[in-house]
Protein backbone atom coordinates (compact mmCIF):
# COMPACT_ATOMS: atom_id res chain seq x y z
CA UNK A 1 0.00 0.00 0.00
CA UNK A 2 1.43 3.34 -1.03
CA UNK A 3 -1.81 5.31 -1.05
CA UNK A 4 -1.14 7.47 1.99
CA UNK A 5 0.21 10.41 0.01
CA UNK A 6 -2.75 10.68 -2.37
CA UNK A 7 -3.41 14.39 -2.90
CA UNK A 8 -6.90 15.66 -2.19
CA UNK A 9 -8.42 17.04 -5.42
CA UNK A 10 -9.02 20.75 -5.17
CA UNK A 11 -12.43 20.67 -6.80
CA UNK A 12 -13.80 19.03 -3.66
CA UNK A 13 -15.70 21.34 -1.36
CA UNK A 14 -13.91 22.16 1.86
CA UNK A 15 -16.39 20.14 3.87
CA UNK A 16 -15.92 17.08 1.74
CA UNK A 17 -12.17 17.00 2.02
CA UNK A 18 -12.50 17.39 5.77
CA UNK A 19 -14.90 14.46 5.87
CA UNK A 20 -12.30 12.45 4.04
CA UNK A 21 -9.71 13.56 6.54
CA UNK A 22 -11.87 12.30 9.39
CA UNK A 23 -12.39 8.89 7.86
CA UNK A 24 -8.73 8.55 6.96
CA UNK A 25 -7.51 9.40 10.44
CA UNK A 26 -10.34 7.94 12.50
CA UNK A 27 -8.28 5.19 14.03
CA UNK A 28 -5.31 7.43 14.72
CA UNK A 29 -7.66 9.68 16.62
CA UNK A 30 -9.13 6.80 18.60
CA UNK A 31 -5.68 5.51 19.43
CA UNK A 32 -4.51 9.03 20.33
CA UNK A 33 -1.83 8.85 17.69
CA UNK A 34 -2.72 12.11 15.99
CA UNK A 35 -0.71 15.27 15.89
CA UNK A 36 -2.24 18.10 17.88
CA UNK A 37 -3.01 20.01 14.68
CA UNK A 38 -4.83 17.06 13.12
CA UNK A 39 -6.77 16.39 16.29
CA UNK A 40 -7.78 20.04 16.47
CA UNK A 41 -8.92 19.98 12.85
CA UNK A 42 -10.94 16.84 13.47
CA UNK A 43 -12.67 18.21 16.57
CA UNK A 44 -13.46 21.46 14.77
CA UNK A 45 -14.97 19.54 11.88
CA UNK A 46 -17.16 17.12 13.84
CA UNK A 47 -18.50 20.07 15.82
CA UNK A 48 -20.52 21.05 12.75
CA UNK A 49 -20.66 17.85 10.68
CA UNK A 50 -23.07 15.33 12.18
CA UNK A 51 -22.32 12.41 9.81
CA UNK A 52 -18.67 12.56 10.81
CA UNK A 53 -19.55 13.02 14.47
CA UNK A 54 -21.73 9.92 14.25
CA UNK A 55 -18.96 7.98 12.58
CA UNK A 56 -16.50 9.03 15.24
CA UNK A 57 -18.90 8.29 18.08
CA UNK A 58 -19.73 4.87 16.68
CA UNK A 59 -16.11 3.84 16.48
CA UNK A 60 -15.39 5.28 19.90
CA UNK A 61 -18.25 3.35 21.48
CA UNK A 62 -17.47 0.17 19.59
CA UNK A 63 -13.88 0.40 20.69
CA UNK A 64 -14.92 0.73 24.34
CA UNK A 65 -17.38 -2.15 24.12
CA UNK A 66 -14.90 -4.39 22.37
CA UNK A 67 -12.26 -3.62 24.97
CA UNK A 68 -14.65 -4.49 27.77
CA UNK A 69 -15.81 -7.73 26.22
CA UNK A 70 -12.27 -8.72 25.18
CA UNK A 71 -13.53 -9.48 21.69
CA UNK A 72 -11.19 -9.13 18.75
CA UNK A 73 -13.63 -7.10 16.69
CA UNK A 74 -17.10 -5.73 17.11
CA UNK A 75 -19.79 -7.36 14.99
CA UNK A 76 -21.02 -5.18 12.15
CA UNK A 77 -24.52 -5.43 13.60
CA UNK A 78 -23.38 -3.66 16.76
CA UNK A 79 -21.85 -0.86 14.70
CA UNK A 80 -25.04 -0.40 12.74
CA UNK A 81 -27.14 -0.33 15.89
CA UNK A 82 -24.97 2.26 17.59
CA UNK A 83 -24.89 4.41 14.46
CA UNK A 84 -28.68 4.30 14.14
CA UNK A 85 -29.01 5.32 17.79
CA UNK A 86 -26.65 8.26 17.42
CA UNK A 87 -28.31 9.49 14.26
CA UNK A 88 -31.75 9.16 15.86
CA UNK A 89 -30.80 11.24 18.89
CA UNK A 90 -28.53 13.73 17.13
Nearer to Zn ion, 25 or 65 (CB): 25
- Nearest CA to 21 among 2, 6, 31, 1? 6
Nearer to Zn ion, 49 or 61 (CB): 49
Nearer to Zn ion, 30 or 49 (CB): 49
Considering only residues 14 through 73, tell me which ones interact with Zn ion, judged by CB under 5 A: 19, 49, 52
Chain-centre distance of CA 10, in angstroms? 22
CB of 57 to Zn ion, least distance (A): 13
CB of 38 to Zn ion, least distance (A): 14
Q: Rounded to 5 degrees, what angle do the CA atoms 11, 14, 17 make?
A: 80
How many Å is the Cα radius of gyration of the chain?
14
Q: Which residues bind Zn ion (CB under 5 A)?
A: 19, 49, 52
Amino acid sequence: MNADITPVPHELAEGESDCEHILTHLYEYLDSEMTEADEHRMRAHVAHCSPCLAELSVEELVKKLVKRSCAEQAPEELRLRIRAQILATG
